[in-house]
Structure 1
Amino acid sequence: MTEQLQFIPFKSRSDKGWDEAWDLYEISFPDCERWNAADYDRAFGDPHFEADGIWRGEEFIGILFHWKAGDFHYVEHLAVSPRLRGQNMGSKALAAFAEGKRVILEIDPPEDEISIRRLHFYQRLGFVENPQEYIHPSFRKPFHAHRLVLMSRPGPLTNEEARDFADFVRERVLRYSEHEAPTLPRLA
């Protein structure tokens, strides 16, 4: 019998599994999409934020860092340990997390083989690509805003939901970045 996946929130950087989670975080995301480690010390106390380790029994599987804002959940970072890739762990984890929730996430524009595969991965899990153009500010200096595609489940975002999401990123998430005065993620 396969053990069920568990989402166990980290409360500090000294928690069991944090070092493995941090190593995975650093190899899985580009510098502009990552926070500094010390920024998590502040974010752990934010009631909207949760940094989950994904576990199968005592085995560390991956990370799911997410935010709760009003009617939606924003998946900021999802990564599975490289030794487990290809075993549908990411699919299982995201499907379990998203069950019964309004979920928003961002992906790179589907312009190359990897980004197209990523789009199809999320589509297989019931996410839809949204038409609103979205510019996301980088979290770290030097700041380089970059275009991302908003995906949502169980259906597309209204323009109002997309604006609310962009406002949430600007007003809440960017507090934990290197921005002194958060830059507005734009909907074009």
Structure 2
Amino acid sequence: MTQQLRFIPFKSRSDKGWAEAWALYEASFPDCERWDGTGYDRAFGDPHFEADGIWRGDEFIGILFHWNAGDYRYVEHLAVSPRLRGQNMGSKALAAFCQGRRVILEIDPPEDEISVRRQHFYQRLGFVANPYAYIHPSFRRPFHPHRLVLMSYPEALTYEEARGFADFIRERVLRYSEHENPELPRL
């Protein structure tokens, strides 16, 4: 019998599994898309933020870092342990997380084989690519804003919703980055 996946929130960087989660986070995302550890120390106290470890029994599977924005959840980081890739763990985790929720996430524009596969992965799970030009700031110095595609579940965003999402990133999420006066992202 297959064990259910569980999402267990980290409350601090000293929690069980955080070292493995941090190693996966650093290996899975470029510097410009990651916070430093002190950003997480501050964010753990934010009621809108949750950094979940994904577990199957006592086995660490991956991470799902997300924000509760009221009308939707913003999935900031999702990664599965490399030893488990190709076993549909990411699909299972994201499908379980999305159940009954409106979800927004960002992906690289589908310009190469990997980014096209990533977009198809999310589309198979019911996500929709939104047509709005979206520029996301980098979280760390040197700042290099980059174009991303907004994807939403289970339906497309209106322009007003996409605008509200960009405001949420600027007003809430960037507090934990190296930005002092965030003015991005923009739509």
Say whether the fold is shared (TM-score over 0.5).
Answer: yes
Alignment of 1:8-87 (within 5 A): 8-87=8-87
Structure 1 distance, partners of 2:9, 2:65, is 9
- The CA deviation at 1:5 is 0.1
Q: Are positions 1:88 and 2:88 aligned together?
A: yes
Q: Tell me the CA shift for residue 183 of structure 1.
A: 2.3
CA–CA distance in 1 between the matches of 2:128 and 2:182? 28
Residue of structure 2 in register with 1:156 after alignment: 156
Aligned partners of 2:115, 2:36: CA distance in 1, in Å? 25
Q: For 2:37, give the aligned amino acid.
A: A
Which letter does structure 2 place at the counterpart of 1:16? Answer: K
Structure 1 stretches of at least 4 aligned residues deviating more than 3 Å after TM superposition: none
| Alignment size in residue pairs | 187
2: distance between equivalents of 1:183 and 1:77?
A: 22
Aligned to 1:165: 165
C-alpha distance in structure 1 between counterparts of 2:125 and 2:20, whole Å: 26
**Is 2:84 the partner of 1:116?**
no
Is 1:176 the counterpart of 2:184? The answer is no
CA RMSD, aligned part only?
Answer: 0.4
Q: Deviations over 1:50-98 (max 9, x none)?
A: 0000000000000000000020100000000000000000000000000
* Separation (CA, whole Å) in 2 of partners of 1:128 and 1:65: 20
**1:14-43, Cα deviation, whole Å (9 max, x unpaired):** 000000000000000000000001110000
Counterpart for residue 144 of structure 1:
144
5+ residue gaps, structure 1? none
Aligned-partner Cα distance in 2 for 1:184–1:163: 11
SS in 2 for 1:186: coil
Partner SS for 1:141: coil
CA distance in 1 between counterparts of 2:122 and 2:69 reads 21
Residue in 2 that maps onto 1:134:
134
Read off the aligned partner of 1:161 and give its amino acid letter. Answer: E
CA displacement 1:92-139 (0-9 Å, x = unmatched): 000000001000000000000000000000000000000011000000
TM-score (norm 2): 0.99
* Structure 2: distance between partners of 1:25 and 1:111: 23
Distance 2:14 2:142 in 1: 29
In structure 2, the residue matched to 1:97 is 97
* Runs of 5+ consecutive residues of structure 2 not aligned to the other structure: none
Q: What fraction of aligned residue pairs are identical, expressed as a percent? A: 83
Q: What SS does the aligned partner of 2:51 have? A: strand
Letter in 1 for 2:182: P
CA distance in 2, matches of 1:142, 1:185: 16
CA distance in 1, matches of 2:108, 2:18: 26
State the 1:169 CA deviation.
0.1
